[in-house]
Each structure stands twice: as C-alpha cells, then as structure tokens.
Structure 1
C-alpha cells in the first residue's frame, strides 16, 4: 500500500504538471505512454516488440497517434487515415506472402490494438490543445477519477448485484451507479467555478457519457486481461500495474466524446 501511495503521488503530480505545461513536453509524454501501452498489449498477445508483428503494430499506432506538427505526411500526398488503410491492405497481404508465419489473427490484433491505443492518446492530445483544452482535460480527469472512487466506495458499502461477473467479478451495479452519481456531483461543483459548456443540459449529458464510457473502458481492459490470463497489463508503475491499467478509462472516453461532437 505504501508503494502504491508513493507511486500515485509522484506519478500523478508529474502527469498533472506536464498537462499544465502542455506543448512539446506534454506531447512527448503522450507518445511515451502510448508506446508503453502498445508494448503491454503486444506482450499480452505474446508478440515480441522487435518481431515483425510488434514493429508493424508500433508503426500503425504511431501513424494514428503522432500529431501533424511533429511528423507531416504531405510528402506522400496521403491523409493519415488513408495511409493507415493502405497499410492494413499490405498487412493482410503479408499473411499470404509469409504463408501464415504472420497469421491473420495476429494481423487483426495488431490493427485493433493500434486503433485502441493510438486514437485514445491522440484525442487526449487533441483535447489538450483546444482553446479551453486545459479546463476540458481536467474536467474529464475529475469525472473519470470521481467515477472510479465512487464506484469503489459505493460497491464496498452497498454492492450486492454483480455488474458483469464474467469480465470483472468485483464490480457491482450499485458501485456503477455510485460512481456516476459522485462524478455528477463533483463535476457539477467543478463547472460552477470553471464552466465548460454554455448549456447545463450539454454539461449534464457530457458528465454522464464520460462516467459511463469510462466504466466501459475499464471493463474492456478487464476483458482483455481475462482473455489473455494476466493480472496486470504491465509493471511500469509499482503498486498500480501498467500504463493501460491506469489509462484504460481515459483512452476509451476520448474518441467517444470526440465522435459525439463534445469537442
């Protein structure tokens, strides 16, 4: 527990500081975290990072992740999504060329993992660099952390009905409701001092969406770990597991709220 607290305080302080600093230091942090998260996913699948599949997976993820101001693709006259789709076709062709030494299953995993990690951290950066990006990022973090805390304490105090025992045996429906309730409560206090949206209805909808999709993101990672029979995604953060264990909710939330037009 002591190690967990120390890691949480130091890591959390460093993370929040770099969010405030923004610019290149924050971008570099996102690239490092995404690279570690991708490595953790490849490790779950038992794909070595320096293998063909591992290198391709990293390249796919970086294509989706890295902002245009760092690496421009103007010289090949392709948008990032177009290049990504082209590489998917090439990757699938390689399953034939290699006579299934690189399997269709591995190709599918690499594609899905790169989208999961790459877009998740990409839209984290995207949100930070909006005009109200700092306030928006902290609002999202407050909602996700409040949901986690509320779900934990409500689950321990009132939890009786299992939410999804096949995926995460300890999570309960009461905990989920408590998590969303605390997120709305603390989020409402936050926007009283730092308004994000002009409409209260939009604010309320945003809080509910972030809380619920954050919980779904946590379940997605739990399903991955259960499928591949691992306890934690990694051991980068002593007492906390891996990067995916800490950022599973956030990187799942970001693309969804972007697609729903909240940014």
Structure 2
C-alpha cells in the first residue's frame, strides 16, 4: 500500500503539472501514454510490438492522437481512419495467408480505436481555445472523485457486490458513493465558475464521468480476466500499466466529447 501511495502521489503530481503546462508537454505525454498503452494491449493479446498487425495498430493510434491540425495537415475523419485501418488489417489477413487471422485483425482495430481516440479526446479537450484547462480539470476532477468515493464508501459501507464475476471487490454502495462524490465535485466547479458552466450541465458531466468511468474500470477488469492477467503492465509500481490507470479516462473523455458536453 505504501508503494502504491508514493507512486500515485508522484505520478499524479507529475501528470497535473504536465496538464497545467499544456502545449507540447501535455500532448507529448499523451502520445507516449498512447503508445505504451497500445504496446500493453498488443501484449495482452499475445501480439509482439513488431508484428505487422501491431504496427498498423500503432499507425492508427498515431493518426488519432498526433496534433495534425497544428502542423497544417488535414487528415480524414474518425470514420475514415477506422475504415482505412480496417481495410489494411483485413488485407493483412490475405497477404499473410491467414497467419494474421480475422480475429487478430479485429482485436487490433478495436485497440487502436479504444486507445487512440481515447487519448485524442483528452488532447482535444485541453486544446479548447477558451478555458481548455478548466474543462480538462472538470472531467478529470469528476473521474478522480468517483474513484475516491467508490473506494472509501465501498470500504466503509460496501456489502452488496456490484459485479463479482468481473471485479469481486466492487460494491453497489461503493459505486453509488463514487457517483455522489463526482456530483459534488461537478457542483463545486459550477458554483465556482458559473460564467463557464451551469449547474445542470455540470451535474450531467459528473454523472456521466462517474457511471462511464466505473464502466471503463469494469471493462478493463473483464478483459484482464479473459486474458488471465493481473495488470496490463508494470509501468507504475503498485498501480500496473497505462491501461490499468487510464481505463476510466479512455471511456469518459470520448463520451463527453461525442455528446458535446465539452465544447470541443
């Protein structure tokens, strides 16, 4: 536990510092996390980083997460990227005479979308012209509040298992505590900067961040059970890998962008 706390404090402080700095520091960190996350995803599925399907996965992730517009480069839409990547991965099954199977192609397509667009959404939010840092902290604040609330309320009051076949330690009481903490934090933001975000909108963001964030955690737990692994990686001692730590982020940020709750 001590190692987990120390690692969490150091990594959290560093991440917040990069987020405040913004620009290439933040973008570069997200790109690095996305590439490490893609490596973890490939390894989880028994695919070496140098395998052609993994290389296409990396390419797809970079198409999503690199700041092309800042370089004056127009890239295709998200749908176009997904389709082109799907075509190349399917073509790979033919070229390799099914050494790369259609199942393997589908897994890498899913991974590129999950990891690539997830981190790309985080970058887009931070780059919002007006109050980008504030919107970023609203989203992260609600996610982190949900994590904290679920942990402490679960420990204090948890009796009813939420989804024991997927994550045996999570409880319904903890999940509700996570929602409550997230709503409180979102309300604090709204009351602090009412000229930027209204209370009803903040509460919707808080609710989505809590519910979707907890689903993101459960999704990763379910996947790890299928692959019979404890952690996706060992980057952060006591915390696991990038996908272990960012599982909620990768679901919440795209949802908030796609629902236009954040003004990207």
When normalised by structure 1's length, the TM-score is 0.93
Shift, 1:172, TM fit? 1.0
Q: Aligned residue for 1:89?
A: 87
Q: Which moved more, 1:213-222 or 1:178-187?
A: 178-187
Shift, 1:78, TM fit? 4.6
Q: Which moved more, 1:249-258 or 1:196-205?
A: 196-205
Q: Aligned residue for 1:24?
A: 24
> Does the Cα contact within 8 Å between 2:149 and 2:177 map onto a contact in 1?
yes
> Does the Cα contact within 8 Å between 1:63 and 1:80 map onto a contact in 2?
no
Q: Which moved more, 1:81-90 or 1:213-222?
A: 81-90
Report matched runs for 1:117-156 at 5 Å: 117-130=115-128, 131-156=130-155
Shift, 1:96, TM fit? 2.2
Please give the secondary structure, in 2, of the residue aligned with 1:34.
helix
> Does the Cα contact within 8 Å between 2:139 and 2:205 map onto a contact in 1?
no
Please give the secondary structure, in 2, of the residue aligned with 1:235.
coil
Q: Flag structure 2 segments of 5+ consecutive residues without an equivalent.
A: none
Q: Does 1:261 align with 2:235?
A: no
The one of 103, 114, 117 aligned to 1:116:
114
Please give the secondary structure, in 1, of the residue aligned with 2:46.
coil
Please give the secondary structure, in 1, of the residue aligned with 2:106.
helix
Q: 1: CA distance between counterparts of 2:78 and 2:191?
A: 39
Q: Does 1:217 align with 2:219?
A: no
- Residues 169 and 84 from structure 1, CA distance in 2 versus in 1: closer, same or farther, beyond 3 angstroms? same
Q: Aligned residue for 1:173?
A: 172
Q: 1: CA distance between counterparts of 2:76 and 2:178?
A: 43
- Residues 193 and 200 from structure 1, CA distance in 2 versus in 1: closer, same or farther, beyond 3 angstroms? closer
Q: 2: CA distance between counterparts of 1:100 and 1:196?
A: 57
Shift, 1:44, TM fit? 0.5
> Does the Cα contact within 8 Å between 2:231 and 2:241 map onto a contact in 1?
yes
Shift, 1:87, TM fit? 3.0
Please give the secondary structure, in 2, of the residue aligned with 1:69.
helix
Please give the secondary structure, in 1, of the residue aligned with 2:168.
strand
When normalised by structure 2's length, the TM-score is 0.93
Q: 1: CA distance between counterparts of 2:237 and 2:138?
A: 26
- Residues 256 and 78 from structure 1, CA distance in 2 versus in 1: closer, same or farther, beyond 3 angstroms? closer
Shift, 1:11, TM fit? 1.1
* Aligned CA-pair RMSD: 1.7
Q: Does 1:102 align with 2:95?
A: no
Count of residues in correspondence between the two structures: 261
Q: 2: CA distance between counterparts of 1:138 and 1:59?
A: 29
Q: Flag structure 1 segments of 5+ consecutive residues without an equivalent.
A: none
- Residues 253 and 118 from structure 1, CA distance in 2 versus in 1: closer, same or farther, beyond 3 angstroms? same
